[in-house]
A and B are shown apart, each in its own frame.
Chain A
Amino acid sequence: MNRNGFFSSLGSLLGIVLVSLLLVPLLAMLVSTSHQDIVAGIAHPMFLPALFLSLKTTSISLALTCLLGTPLAWWLASSRSKSTKIIELVVALPIVIPPAVLGVGLLQTFGREGLLGSLLQNLGLSIPFTASAVIIAQIVVSSPFFIQAATSSFRKVEPDILMVARTLGSSAVSAFFRVALPISLPGIVAGASLAWARSLGEFGATLLFAGNMKDETQTMPLAIFSAMESDLQLAIVFSLVLVGGGGILLAALRCLPLTVALTKRRPR
């Protein structure tokens, strides 16, 4: 075997080790679960409330992340201000900070004794240990993934293309919606799917900031945590449902740009 062949084989072997590490735990759960286990797990009283809460909160947090994150990503991508570097750093912080720390930070911000606690109390609002807290925790941990992907995608839009759109009669806002956004859509969708997946799996910040109350703040990861304490098989079924559902939704989100392109109206 020549030198190139050796390194190629070594690279493949290392890759296979990593892929196995990602795949084998999923397979291990699959082979240890029977059809009856799955039916029993789905019928468990903890399952449906946790699933619905997860779907509801992750949908809302994704919508809010896109709504708040898209203008920010556009500004980060198009502004020449030096402050963009600082803001980018701030946006990336939740990726490197442990979720439990973010949970403590959120409690110190929105909790009764927190920074905004008295203000919220005066307004009659109480956020910790509610579904709103779940959503806020999900936004905090997942939005950096969306913003980074969207910013990177927006940076690929050449300024000249937008200038051409302006010369053709589009205002700056119209050029953004008609040119920059559609061109960046694949990257934005990829970022949104990453953010959604991160929200769906969020555990640490939610546990500390929203608690683990059935029907109120118990999302699927927290339900798995609760199930683990008494019934491992139940936890495995919950996990498999999360893996299956997450995989399907992620694939659908990734296929969205292609679907849009294929179904787009053909010129007459």
Chain B
Amino acid sequence: MTSWRASVRASVGTFLLDAAIEGSRQAVALIGPNGSGKTTFLRFLVGAVHPEEGEFILGNKSLVDTQKDVNVPTEQRRVGYVPQGYGLFSHLNVLDNVGYGLVGGPNRLDLSQRHLKARQILENLGCASLAGRRVAGLSGGEQQWIALARALVIEPELLLLDEPLSALDASKRRKTRKLLSQRLQLFGRPSILTTHDVRDVAVLGAHIYVLEKGRIIQSGTLDHLIRKPASDFVAEFVGPATLEDYT
């Protein structure tokens, strides 16, 4: 079973991120107010933020260790990333977006195999009919699936989802949340998502880390957060509810 742990101390402008989290196959949810450092933490994990001090171990591989001067390049980390807004390549169609990670590097496949694998992933996610479409014409929900398919095609060791449902309207969010939960279970590897919605956490059964002003102030299950919220933000996030209300 793949486990991971990451700690970071990094200054981004005047903001200081100083946090450590860890997980295994169970999904991890990173929650916190806007500007608390959630996205910065994910960006550290993909290699976009260079910390003063930091460590990132994925499975038995050390990807970042500032003490030993280890910093594995982003393209070699096998960390899948779905950013806010999905980051689809607007000059490519859906199939070429999904197959992007198979064009070069260690996952390289020839064109026919690449398209075959991309189609398989799209079929698994129930969106094979989108294969020939331009990404500009896709709805928010469709874009989200394509971004997920593109991240999964390289079979990452860890999947990062930055507010994956935030661009969807309420009804689509409800439907997509359940599907996303099923897909992540099938994915069977660790994942971290950031969210502002307690229902995302509940459906995924995720272990929660609460980030405020760049620091972890609480971690635990949703039930634990409901019973003992460590801050006003946590109390507001879980709301006046019991775990049964969300499951």
Interface residues of A (CB under 8 A from B): 158-161, 163-171, 174, 178-179, 182-183, 185, 266-268
Contact = CB atoms under 8 A, between A and B. Distances in A.
A266 B94 CA distance: 11
Given A163-B83, A167-B81, A174 B104 contact: yes
Interface in B137-152: 150-151
B89 A170 contact: no
Contacts of B95: 267
B91 A182 contact: yes
A166 B106 CA distance: 13
A178 B99 CA distance: 13
Interface of B: 43, 46-48, 73-75, 77, 79-85, 87-91, 93, 95-96, 100-101, 103-107, 111-112, 115, 131-132, 150-151, 154, 156
A88 to B, nearest CB: 22
Contacts of B106: 169
Given A160-B85, A171-B75, 20 more contacts: A158-B85, A160-B87, A163-B48, A163-B74, A163-B81, A164-B82, A164-B87, A164-B151, A166-B74, A167-B74, A167-B75, A167-B77, A167-B154, A168-B150, A168-B151, A169-B103, A170-B104, A182-B89, A183-B91, A266-B132
Given A158-B87, A163-B74, A168 B115 contact: no
Contacts of B132: 266-267
Contacts of B156: 167
A183 B115 contact: no
A179 to B, nearest CB: 6
Contacts of A178: 100, 103
Nearest 10 CB-CB pairs, A to B?
A169-B105, A168-B101, A166-B74, A160-B83, A182-B91, A267-B95, A164-B87, A167-B81, A161-B87, A160-B87
A268 B132 CA distance: 9
A165 B83 CA distance: 11
A170 B81 CA distance: 13
A165 B100 contact: yes
Chain A interface SS verdict (over half): helix
A166 B160 CA distance: 14
B89 A179 contact: yes
A161 B93 contact: no
Contacts of B74: 163, 166-167
A169 B103 CA distance: 9
A268 B79 contact: no
A224 to B, nearest CB: 41
Nearest to B83: A160
Contacts of B151: 164, 167-168
A159 B47 CA distance: 13
Contacts of A160: 83-85, 87
A166 B47 contact: yes
B75 A170 contact: yes
Nearest to B93: A267
Given A171-B75, A174-B104, A268-B112, A166 B89 contact: no
9 contacts: A160-B83, A160-B84, A164-B83, A166-B74, A167-B156, A168-B100, A171-B73, A182-B89, A182-B91
B131 A167 contact: no
Q: Which of A170, A183, A185 has the most chain B CB atoms inside 10 A of its CB? A: A170
B81 A169 contact: no
